[in-house]
Amino acid sequence: MWITYHGLLIVLATLQMVSASGVFELRLKSFINDYGKDAVGQCCSGEAETCTAPCRTRFRVCLKHYQARVDTTSPCTFGDVVTPVLGDNSLQMDALQPTEGFSNPIRFPFDFTWPRCSSTTPPQYSELDVQGKEEGEEL
């Protein structure tokens, strides 16, 4: 018993603080917007019935705690990323030229205990949507 007690005391005295970190990654593969409409269903250009020019496509990825029904107005608990304009209506991510300010996969580094579940909300919107909204305002 004496040996066990002192052995445990020595082990406890030599323990060091341990920390953990990780990275959540989201790889985008492709995106198709056949009708040339923005996130709210409006033409990026032209009349309501005839979309005459393609959208300038970018993404906002919001990483948040798990929600059974995703609330797009609540804050992004673990961070968000807005990409630069990546192309027009259809994108194949593996065929994209390198774009400043964008890397695929999109990475969210963290240094806290990861929750059991999470939700991602990667809506698409056009550059017009971004320019018409205040920073942090959801579409």
67-126 per-position pLDDT tens digit: 888 888 889 888 888 999 999 999 998 888 888 888 888 888 877 776 665 555 566 555
Question: Residue 26 gets which letter from DSSP?
Answer: E
The half-sphere exposure of 80 on its side-chain side, counting CA atoms within 13 A, is 21
Q: Residue 138: pLDDT band by 50, 70, 90 thresholds?
A: very low
pLDDT tens figures, 53-66:
899 999 888 888 88
- Residue 31, classed as helix, strand or coil, is strand
Q: Residue 56: what pLDDT? A: 92
Q: Residue 31: what pLDDT? A: 92
Q: Residue 2: what pLDDT? A: 61
Question: Measured in Å, how far apart are the chain's first and last C-alpha atoms?
Answer: 66
Q: Residue 85: what pLDDT? A: 92
Q: Residue 14: what pLDDT? A: 67
Q: Residue 32: pLDDT band by 50, 70, 90 thresholds?
A: very high
Which amino acid makes up residue 126? S
